[in-house]
Amino acid sequence: MTIHFPFQNTYSALPANFFARVAPTPVAAPRLIKLNRALAVQLGLDPDVLESPEGAEILAGKRVPEGADPIAMAYAGHQFGQFVPQLGDGRAILLGEVIDKDGVRRDIQLKGSGPTPFSRRGDGRAALGPVLREYIVSEAMYALRIPTTRSLAAVITGEGVMRETMLPGAVLTRVAASHVRVGTFQFFAARGDTDGVRALADHVIARHYPDVAKAERPYHALLEAVVARQADLVARWLLVGFIHGVMNTDNTSISGETIDYGPCAFMDEYNPAQVFSSIDEMGRYAYANQPRIALWNLTRLAECLLRLFSDEQDKAIEQAQFILGEFADKFTAAYQAGLRRKIGLFAERDGDEALIQDLLDAMAKNTADFTLTFRTLADAAGDADDDSVRAQFTDPTAFDEWAARWRQRLADEPQSAAERQAAMRAVNPAFIPRNHRVEAVIAAAVNNDYGPFEELLTVLSKPYEDQPEFAAYADPPLPDQRVLRTFCGT
């Protein structure tokens, strides 16, 4: 059977030092766990064919599809603030690019498909748990309307991978607007390869920011565009309680998508200092630090572009600093607008920011569940009483005091209670991929039970709907179910 991927590859046409040509390593007995049929159709692929045994072989890397030009991309990166001049795709291989039904160019990449020249003594493989975690969380983020890479398929390989113990091996097929990272620019800048930086910038402009090509200073405009997308992206993360967990520059996408779901997690109770990642011992990537780290990463990108800005370094630095200075306002505008929507405000008034901050402070002091507080607040804005939202606070009177001011503010706007409730429910999810649920799904899958995985995906595909038959999925963990640490997928 011939399986056709309509590849139109551009990255592999760049200079040879941008990547290493390497084929996936065949696996023993690939078996499809899950195919994202709707995404396959969006990509112009036949889901029935992909679900065949031959399709599973392609999605596991055992067979290379016609038209593919498999490569491992080169990049560098700051990892927890320490610069590593060569990282690269150590366990991922880009098969190629397709144009989807909306005319958008998308990468199709295999993660866990075997060693590459960038593997640094690693086996290039992935265990089942991290593959399922990325599938679940990336598709949940998509349903939450947050820019993200997508998951096309998960395949079990029929081989074990050794980590602390022997685990089932798996491969994830990831789809992205591209896999270019801040670290990709750093790879060339660290080598003094200005031509490489320019070629990469031109590629990114053509692929992601075509309007920038018409600007008087296109490389300045590129940095402005990336700053704007990152500011908006991180604001969206905070609005749903998401913690990336490992915001290294090599995990910061130039396209403005969320990428590389390793030790990621969603908060249960609201805590600005919350950290889940087992490797983030100093809290560098804590929930509330994410905007600051995004700007730090963007500053590293700006450093790479300086030679394209001006031959005069002082002038180039001044221009870059001006653009980076826009991040704070862009982030704050996106974040505050999102928070206003979460508490049901349609217009911006003086005092709104303080009102919202007072709610967040009360939530933190009273260990209120982040997701449920806002979801039940939507009900309280409609025809329900305050009991459900009060129950989120260890001291319910803390909510009562705030609610009196909130209702006074709501009275300043003309919208009906029903309109307000509908608007709030559209931005405050009932369901997120709670950590204890994800861990339970992985534990079942390791024992060859994928029923919980399928059910969780079903629930998370409609996060803003009540889904009474799945109401328990909205519940926070019991004390003995709490997940305190999440782990990287390498």
What are the pLDDT digits (tens) for 216-240? 999 999 999 999 999 999 999 999 9
Alpha-carbon dihedral angle through residues 50, 56, 59, 63, given to the nearest 10 degrees:
-110
pLDDT of 1 over the 80 cut: no
Is the whole model's pTM more than 0.75, yes or no? Answer: yes
pLDDT of 490 over the 70 cut: no
Exactly one of 232, 250, 280, 369 is catalytic; which is it?
250
Q: Give the Cα-Cα-Cα angle 425, 274, 379 (nearest 5 degrees).
A: 20
Alpha-carbon dihedral angle through residues 80, 86, 92, 93, given to the nearest 10 degrees:
150
- Each residue of 457-487: pLDDT tens digit? 999 999 999 999 999 999 999 988 888 788 7
Q: Give the Cα-Cα-Cα angle 104, 203, 42 (nearest 5 degrees).
A: 15
pLDDT of 73 over the 60 cut: yes
- Containing 331, the helix (H) or strand (E) segment is helix 327-342
274 token code pair: 């919350």
- Type of residue at 152: L
Can you give the pLDDT at residue 219?
98
Can you give the pLDDT at residue 398?
96
Asked whether the beta carbons of 366 and 357 are under 8 A apart, the reply is no
- Type of residue at 133: R
Percent of residues, the chain, with pLDDT higher than 70: 99
Residue 321 — pLDDT band, cuts 50, 70, 90? very high
Residue 383 — pLDDT band, cuts 50, 70, 90? confident
Distance, CA of 294 to CA of 301 (rounded, Å): 11
Residue 150 CA, chain-centre distance (Å), reads 9
Asked whether the beta carbons of 200 and 18 are under 8 A apart, the reply is yes
- The conformational region for residue 368 under phi > 0 = left, psi -120 to 50 = alpha, else beta, is beta
Distance, CA of 220 to CA of 307 (rounded, Å): 11
Can you give the pLDDT at residue 489?
63
Is 311 known to be catalytic?
Answer: no
pLDDT averaged over every residue in the chain:
96
Give residues with Cβ within 8 angstroms of 163, minimum separation 6.
Answer: 127
- Each residue of 188-213: pLDDT tens digit? 999 999 999 999 999 999 999 999 99
Q: Distances from the Cα of 181 to the Cαs of 8, 75, 204, 254, in angstroms?
A: 21, 8, 10, 5
Q: Give the Cα-Cα-Cα angle 424, 471, 358 (nearest 5 degrees).
A: 40
Tell me the average pLDDT across 77-105: 96
Can you give the pLDDT at residue 2?
63
